[in-house]
Structures are given as structure tokens and as C-alpha cells.
Amino acid sequence: MSGPTSKTRRMVIKRDESTCQWCGSHVDTSSGWYSLQHRRARGMGGSKQAWINGPANLITVCGTGTTQCHGYMEAHPIEAAGRGFRLGIGEHPDLTPIEDWSRCRWRLEVDGSRTALEVAR
């Protein structure tokens, strides 16, 4: 299976309000300098599981895998995991919240919406 469908991509960008969920910067989705971060990695060669490219597992961030916030998360996996941007095996994206740039915690839903939980302390 390849990456997310264009419908899913649009859904995630709309949910995230064209904003990097790590730093809060506006993301120009026409430039290509943004990513939909897979919270739980696809693994080498991708995954046959449909949810891996679903909205609960994807989050809008600025940069590529080596630049800006996406690059930072790749270089700092423990910090990214602490905020829910990186998940381990056995963690489910629709059950593990993220802490966004504003310190709000959100549960990302499988239907492409999000549910506010609380502000982190």
C-alpha cells in the first residue's frame, strides 16, 4: 500500500487547519514543504493495514523527514513520542492523544475529526 489517498490528505490538512501541529506555523500545502507524519511508522516497504494511512495516524507538520519540525521529530524520537507524534508497536493512533503546539491534547479520530481532551500542564 502506498501513502494516504488525496481525500485523506485533504481531510487531515483541514482538521489541522493547515498548521504544523508541532510548532503552530502555517503550512503552505501548495509548496510541498510539509509532511503528513505517520505517528505509527509504516515500516520498510509500507504496510497492508489500511489504518496506517488513515487520519488518526497522520498529522500535519512543517518540513520533510530531515528538515524543520518533521526533521526535528525524527532526530528526537523520545520527545516526539512524549507528545504522541510517534507511536510504538501496540499503541493505537485513535487511542493515543497528541499534544499540539499550544499544549492542547487531542484524540485524533478515525473519521478525520479530533476531540479536545485538556491542556497539558
- Decide if 14 contacts 29 (C-beta within 8 A): no
24 lies in some domain: yes
100 lies in some domain: yes
Say what the pTM is: 0.89
> pLDDT at position 120, please?
59
Give 60's strand partners: 36
pLDDT band at residue 94 using 50, 70 and 90 as cut-offs: very high
67 lies in some domain: yes
Number of domains forming the structure of the chain: 1
CA atoms within 13 A on the CB side of 97: 14
- Which residue in this structure is represented by grid cell 475529526? 113
106 lies in some domain: yes
> pLDDT at position 56, please?
97
- Give the domain range for residue 40: 6-119
Mean per-residue pLDDT, 78-86? 97
80 lies in some domain: yes
Question: Which is more confidently placed, 120 or 114?
Answer: 114
1 lies in some domain: no
